[in-house]
Structure 1
Amino acid sequence: MKLIENKELFQAIFNSSPNGITILQSINDEKDKTVNFLVLLLNSTALHFIGNTSYENKSYSEVFPMMKEAAVEEKFIEVMKTGVTASFENIITINNKKYSFQFTVVKQADLLVVTTEDITALRQAEITLDTALTVAEKQKRFYDSITNNTPDLVYVFDLSYIFTYANKALLTMWGKSAEDSIGRGLRENGYEEWHALMHEREIDEVVATKKTVRGTVSFPHAELGNRVYDYILAPVLNEEGEVEAIAGTTRDITEIKQAEKRIQQSETRFRSMIEQAPIAMLLSKGEDVIIESINNPMLQFINKKTAKEVLGKKAFDTLPELADQQILQTVVQVQKTGIPYRGYEQPVDLVVNGETERRYFNFSFDCINDAEDSSAVLHMAMDVTEQVLARWKLEDSESRLKSVIDQTPAPTLVLMGKDLIIEQINKHMLQMIGRGEEIIGKALIDVLPELEGQYVWKQVQNVYNKGIPFYQSEVLVQHNRTGVPVDYYYNLAYRPLVQNGQIVGMIQVAIDVTEHVMARKKLEESEKRFRALITASSDAVYRMNADFTGLRNLEEQGFDTNQQQAPSVNWIDKYIHPDDRKQAVHFIEASIENKKIFELEHRVLNADGTFTWNFSRAVPIVDDQNNVIEWFGTCTDIHEERTITEKLESLVADRTKELQRSNEDLQQFAHVASHDLKEPVRKIKTFTSRLQDHLSEQLDEVATRYIERIHVATDRMFNMIDGVLAYSKINADLQKPTVVDLNEVIKNIETDLEVSLQRTGGKIDYDDLAILEGASVLIYQLFYNLINNSLKFAKANVPPQIKIVSEIKEEKNKKFAVITLTDNGIGFEPDMAERIFETFTRLNSKDNYEGTGLGLALCKKIVERHEGKITATGIINEGAVFTIKLPLQQKENNI
């Protein structure tokens, strides 16, 4: 059967049209006023505008959001209201590119048919379009006729087989309203059981496979009787790629069958349309690509003069240069598979005037099947070579500029337009202003609003408005690079960008020299202070070259640190006392070798020929490689101090000998006194005991009490003598520091005080105490005295509880053990915290509590010998707290 008998031929033409065709249904408010439009049908070209996304059950503004700025919907509403066909042109931005479109809006019943023609390229061919206006109008009416009379049924199922949408054609077929149909299943809408089960199985298949299902079915129409329908069920996927609904389209093919004869009659018209179309078109058949119909624009593209040169011939023979090119292979593939092909800016090498020339085309190939199962391919082509080359040239230019800007080491940006929009910016500029690439496309003043009113912003505006380049160093700019307004200094260079004689933007280069400027200012300030210091100093100030061979005196007022006066050479021989020269040379050589500060006390020759003592100190000045470039020093007159010091050293030496002799005498006295004092006390105690034994039967109660008091007094005298001897020896006996574990110390003290602890019911609580360096004997005596003190001053009839804890602390890079001893004894008044460490101090009656008043004084001496500190706090009848702070390591070899 001929091609005109095939309805799919028209469908292919409909989908292959380079114009977008949209069928819209009005959406009315409660006052039946049109407020929006629902998209019912789009052809392939219209789908291309929206990226072939789903449009079912969506409004026009949702499908074509880019049309909002052009206000096309208001014109659509006007056509729906008046019924008057509207044709208008608008510029629309799609994917950041501007296109010119010709809109034609026709009202058909309660529908609108919108034809959208991309006339961007056609504007370049207006003469051709004007001559073909009649043919284009016929083509437009032909496309309008197809879309206006399409009887397709459109609907949507949810996953429970419930209708969530049905168009008017489907509702008319059912003879129901939307309220009676939407939200109901197949059976509730009149489908027979076999029919409902069939569609439910197909819906399950679509959900499981995510693939389209197509079929043909016959069922009755409410008004037209039994009809035959071709249907397609397609999955609707959500963002996660899961099926969330099933969209269906059903086409009544009964009338298509009836219309096949009419299609055959229109074949001549179809071929005429191809030949007269302003767009390059041809029709080919078979895998040999035999050309059956071709129009003049296509003949021009392939460099042929008449249709006779190509009609009935194979494209491979007519255009042998295409044999190895992809374009003809694509046509053969469409012929074989029936899958349409759309290609944009496809390269094709054509022979023109005997030379191969590369051209670029937008291609459209659609397979058309007739009733006899033979097929043809409809070719459409648009030459876009000039646009492609122009775009490449622009992109190449922009790419080179961007590459240069990105690779330049200086912070650089490009501003465009009167609003000075940031079009390009390199990473160095982004890092300098502390921002990211999100600022590209924004106005510079919006990114850095703090520039408003500043000197630099006025210069930026002058560059753009007047075309005056701006170059200046160390420009002060205050801005919020880190969120806080700070003064920065920049070396700036601004140049206008000129295109076609007009200023279109500018290039800015800014180098941050803040550190350099601040350093120079600090250097200048430092030099001022240096000058003032030298002027005010009473010392002689000098500079010395690297090897100490040349001396320059700087003490005169008005000196210049860069002065070039001749240095004094052989200064050691001229100014230094002969007896000090050897030592001076030795110290100089050591300082030069080690690059260390030179310090020396020496005698200097005065103008009157006398020598006075001076202290010289010189500091090395080094370069980046740590090489000494010169020495800066001072010379201080210390003659008077040196003379006084020598006298003092002599006096100190004499005094030290006297003190050593006195200390030896005191040590000898302490030993003699302790022995001589103990002897009479021992005799008193002995004869008192004998007297007590001799008169044991004759002593009354009063006499016995007196004798007992004599015994107590003699025992106290023994303790007093031993305490004085220990206190006097504590500074005389040096101890070697060793590692002392306080846990072992307390354990040994528990053993030694076992009898006292059992007698009083006392307990010592300690665990995980510090380990430190110290004199083990003295540390033992320190804690023995403290614990014995707590046992001695326990409350009556209350078992003493002693708790010892320690922790490690760090102060000025030195670690200390802080030990706290707490008891529950009788305590003491808070204002006595300092006095209890004084020698012979007693806070309680000697009749009630034993002691010499030397125990805590001895503790303080032991702690201080260890470079530590001891403090105490107390509350009457609540107990006392002793805090001992001892270093973990001892600095000295002896304690």
Structure 2
Amino acid sequence: MTPDGKRLLSDVAPSLPSAFREAIDTLPEAFVAAASEKRSVYVSDIATDPLWEGYRAPALSYGLRACLSTPILSAAGDLLGTVALYYREARRPAEGDLERVESATRMMAIAIERSRAEEARDRALREARYERTRLHDLFMRAPAVVCVFRGPDHVFELANPLYLRLVGGKRESETLGRPVREVLPELVGQGYFELLDRVYATGEPFAGDEMSVRLDRRGDGRLEERFVNVVYEPTRDPYGKVDGVMCHAVDVTTQVRARRELEEMAGHLERQRRLYETIISNTPDLAYVFDLQHRFVYANQALLRMWGRTLEDSIGKDCLQVGYEPWHAEMHDREIDQVVATKQPIRGVVPFNGTEGRRMYDYIFVPVIGEDGSVEAVAGTTRDITEFIEAEQKLERRVQERTAELEHANRESEGFNYSISHDLRAPLRSIAATSNILLEELGPQIDEEYRTLLDRQSQNASRLGRLIDELLRLSRLSRAEVDRQSLDMTEEARVVAESERETYPSGRVEIQEGMKGEGDSALVRMLLHNLIGNALKFSSEGGIVRVSQTGDVFSVSDEGVGFDMEYAHRIFLPFERLVTESEFPGTGIGLANVERIVKRHGGRVWAESAPGQGAKFSFTLGE
């Protein structure tokens, strides 16, 4: 009988001719009856019994005349097969045949059941081995972290490649067969050993999301934090007792870090938004945003107060709808379109009648550029400049009035200076002339002492006259118009040096070729006269005065007596001299004139020196 109990097959028949077995493809009815009725069936004469109809001829041709067919039954009474005993003569079964056959069938039943049990066991083992191999392959190829622990010490039985990679690229030989506390000692104090103990002891699974675990992945003692979604599931032996724990985890470190970065960025952006919103809401300036249809999509509190409207009543409306005059609204519509088309800001000043009356406003529209480079909106700010314009107008009037007053004062000063100069020059000329006449006509008759006094009186009168001329020149410099033009500074210096040769015939002046500058020719020449003249005056015999240019800086240097830089701040002040009149005659006005000329050009002047090492005066002429 086939294992499914549906079909009887000829199996073992060592004494029957093989040709007979091949001649029939199904069993005779006698066998079928014995199987279906689970009883012995005896055919005393095959030649006449209808149960052998269809099989009679092959049986008789091989000398088969009688047959005893007995069912083989399992201990549970299930049909396992049949046993047939053939006779070569027509007959009834002999005494004891039936008992021997039934005894044999019982032995056969035991053998068949044992064979089938062994086959079932072998098949189950093969299937178990196959399933275990397939499950192992699935674990090893799983796109998640998988490992299995056995026993209360949680000894590694299985660890897939992703698990080994998570814990630092360990090898199976370093992991399998060893307790987890020995393989991963860095987990002490992180709660994972306690979780494994609890799942093993209680048999209750555990699941946790985005759990932090710190692992020594590099093997250098420095712990790296990772995040995992983990499930601990107890495993059980065939008797239902917990014998291990299976760990299934997914490394979500990248996702957690990305989310935290996004959360941090979102928090930062939210703080920035609140900050900007606070600033914009509390600034006195008007702030607003237009969409591409010229409608307001944002307006701060200052603007709403100026309009006398609420935010709900203003958002989504254009300028005309919130109360702008038609010409004003049309102008802003054109400007918004221009900003969108050119992606450039636009600025203007415009009057507006708001809750505080008609005021003047300075505004600017700027494009809001999206990620694709197109204009998404137009933002604007507006400032009330009414007071500024009024103050500017007031200041302009005041400047005009002050300018007029200064011009009047200058005219009076020039008249006064001229008057003083004229009134002082006459007595000075008289003093000098009288002294000279006395010296010329009565010189031999006058004692040496008095002749010396008269000579000194004449020199002082002349010096005072020169001082008056310098003061007048200094006064005029502060008012002189600067006529800027391109200058050949080399030629200017050469002309000055030539004119100074009359006063200092032994002086030597070296002038750099190709010097260029811009300034007022007359003023620049006066400046050079003072600097070159001073350099020649303070130079020793054989000393060289050098005039040079480096970039936009011009310099005049000498090899003279020099001065202490401690007093450098005094040399450009009127009447301030660092030497005595007897050593180096002068008025003390020349360097003051130099500074005033340089300032009139928008430049600066400075000096560098050391006692006995000469001096270097440098200046620029501004832009």
Q: Once the 2 structures are TM-superposed, how far is the Cα of residue 831 of structure 1 from its aligned partner? A: 3.5
Partner residue in 1 for 2:290: 544
| Letter in structure 2 aligned against 1:878 | G
**Structure 1 CA distance for aligned equivalents of residues 558 and 331 of structure 2:** 60
1:785, distance to aligned residue in structure 2 (A): 1.0
Asked if residue 710 in structure 1 is aligned to residue 457 in structure 2, the reply is yes
The Cα of 1:459 is off from its aligned counterpart by: 7.7
Q: Whole-Å Cα distance in 1 between the matches of residues 496 and 290 of structure 2?
A: 66
Q: 2:445 aligns to what SS in structure 1?
A: coil
In 2, Cα distance between equivalents of 1:678 and 1:590: 71
Deviation per residue, 1:567-607 (Å, 9 max, x gap)? 342349825699x8898789778766754444444443333
SS at match of 1:455: strand
Pairwise CA distance, 1:723: 1.3
1:710-859 map, 5 Å? 710-759=457-506, 762-764=507-509, 767=512, 771-794=516-539, 799-803=542-546, 806-808=549-551, 816-817=552-553, 819=555, 821-825=557-561, 827-859=562-594
Shift of 1:734: 2.9
> What does residue range 160-559 of structure 1 map to in structure 2 within 5 Å?
418=164, 453-456=223-226, 468-470=249-251, 474-476=255-257, 489=258, 523-546=269-292, 548=294, 550=296, 552-555=298-301
Cα pair distance change 1:568/1:585, threshold 3 Å:
closer
- Cα-to-partner distance string for 1:11-61 (whole Å, 9 max, x where unaligned): xxxxxxxxxxxxxxxxxxxxxxxxxxxxxxxxxxxxxxxxxxxxxxxxxxx
- 1:656 Cα deviation from its structure 2 partner: 1.8
Alpha-carbon distance in 2 for matches of 1:719, 1:588: 69
CA contact (8 A) 1:616 1:634 kept: yes
Cα distance in 2, alignment partners of residues 854 and 460 from structure 1: 93
Closer/same/farther in 2, CA of residues 669 and 447 from structure 1, 3 Å limit = farther
1:567 and 2:316 matched: yes
Distance in 1 between residues matched to 2:516 and 2:230, nearest whole Å: 71
- 1:356 matched to which residue of 2? none
SS at 1:843 equivalent: coil
1:656-735 matched pairs, under 5 angstroms: 656-671=403-418, 673-674=420-421, 677-735=424-482
Q: Which residue of 2 aligns with 1:362?
A: none
SS at match of 1:849: coil
Write out per-residue CA displacement over residues 128-171 of structure 1, whole angstroms, 9 at most, x where no aligned residue: xxxxxxxxxxxxxxxxxxxxxxxxxxxxxxxxxxxxxxxxxxxx
Aligned pair in 2 of structure 1 residues 693, 611: CA closer, same or farther (>3 Å)?
same
**1:607 correspondence with 2:355:** yes
* More strand by percentage: 1
Instruction: Read off the aligned partner of 1:782 and give its amino acid letter.
Output: L
TM-aligned CA distance change 1:834 to 1:582, over 3 Å: farther
CA distance in 2, matches of 1:630, 1:688: 90
Contact 1:834 1:872 in 2 (8 A): no
Count of aligned pairs = 400
Alignment RMSD (CA, Å): 4.7
Indicate conservation of the 8 Å contact 1:451/1:457, yes or no.
no
Q: 2-side partners of 1:730 and 1:461: how far apart?
A: 94
In 2, Cα distance between equivalents of 1:844 and 1:661:
39
Normalised by the size of structure 2, how large is the TM-score?
A: 0.52
Secondary structure in 1 aligned to 2:482?
Answer: coil
Offset, 1:772? 3.5
Equivalent position of 2:45 in the other structure = none
Cα distance change of structure 1 residues 565 and 719 upon mapping to structure 2, 3 Å threshold: same
Give secondary structure in 1 for the equivalent of 2:502.
Answer: helix
Shift in Å at residue 418 of structure 1?
A: 4.1
Q: Which has the higher helix share?
A: 2
Give the Cα–Cα distance (whole angstroms) in 1 for the partners of residues 407 and 297 of structure 2: 49
Gaps of at least 5 residues in structure 2 are: 1-160, 171-214, 233-245, 304-310
2:382 match: secondary structure: strand
Whole-angstrom CA distance in 2 between matches of 1:461 and 1:867 = 81
Distance 2:392 2:495 in 1: 51
Greater CA radius of gyration, 1 or 2? 2
Return the alpha-carbon distance in structure 2 between the equivalents of residues 602 and 706 of structure 1: 78
* Residue-by-residue CA offset, 1:644-693 (whole Å, 9 max, x unaligned): 44333322221222222222333454455545544543444344434433
**SS of 1:837 mapped into structure 2:** coil
Deviations, residues 829-850 of structure 1 (Å, cap 9, x unaligned): 5442112211232333334432
Distance 1:451 1:642 in 2: 71
Q: Determine if contact 1:839/1:854 at 8 Å carries over to the other structure.
A: yes
Where 1:695 maps in the other structure, the secondary structure is helix
* Separation of aligned partners in 2, 1:690 and 1:585: 91
SS in structure 2 at match of 1:619: strand
Q: Which residue of 2 aligns with 1:258?
A: none
Alpha-carbon distance in 2 for matches of 1:470, 1:620: 44
Q: Give the direction of change, closer, same or farther, for the CA distance of 1:452–1:647 in structure 2 (3 Å limit).
A: same
Where does residue 597 of structure 2 map in the other structure? 862
Q: Would the aligned equivalents of 2:339 and 2:365 in 1 still touch at CA under 8 Å? A: no
**Structure 1: distance between partners of 2:272 and 2:220:** 32
Q: CA deviation at 1:550?
A: 3.8
Structure 1 range deviating more: 689-698 or 669-678: 669-678
Distance 1:589 1:839 in 2: 63
Structure 2 SS opposite 1:629 = strand
What is the CA distance between 1:618 and its match in structure 2? 3.8
Tell me by how many angstroms 1:857 deviates: 0.7
Conserved? CA contact 2:484–2:520, under 8 Å: yes
Q: Distance in 1 between matches of 2:524 and 2:299?
A: 59
Structure 1, residues 341-397: CA drift from partner, whole Å, max 9, x if none? Answer: xxxxxxxxxxxxxxxxxxxxxxxxxxxxxxxxxxxxxxxxxxxxxxxxxxxxxxxxx
Q: TM-score, normalised by structure 1?
A: 0.38
For residues 427 and 359 of structure 2, what CA distance do their matches in structure 1 show?
A: 65
Shift of the 517–417 alpha-carbon distance from structure 1 to 2, 3 Å rule, reads closer
User: Which residue identity lines up with residue 657 of structure 1 in the other structure?
Assistant: A
2:315 partner amino acid: A
Aligned to 1:368: none
Q: Could you tell me how far 1:448 is from its partner in structure 2?
A: 7.0
- CA distance 1:543–1:587, shift in 2 (3 Å): closer
Aligned partner letter, 1:544: F
CA distance in 2, matches of 1:751, 1:677: 33
Contact kept, 8 Å, 1:599 with 1:616, in 2: the verdict is yes
**Alpha-carbon distance in structure 1 between the residues aligned to 2:292 and 2:422:** 70
CA 1:589–1:470: 2 relative to 1, 3 Å: closer
Q: Which amino acid aligns with 1:707?
A: L
> How far has the Cα of 1:720 moved from its partner?
1.6
Amino acid at match of 1:773: E
The answer (yes or no) to whether the contact 2:349–2:360 under 8 Å persists in 1 is: yes
**For the Cα contact (< 8 Å) 2:508–2:544, is it kept in 1?**
yes
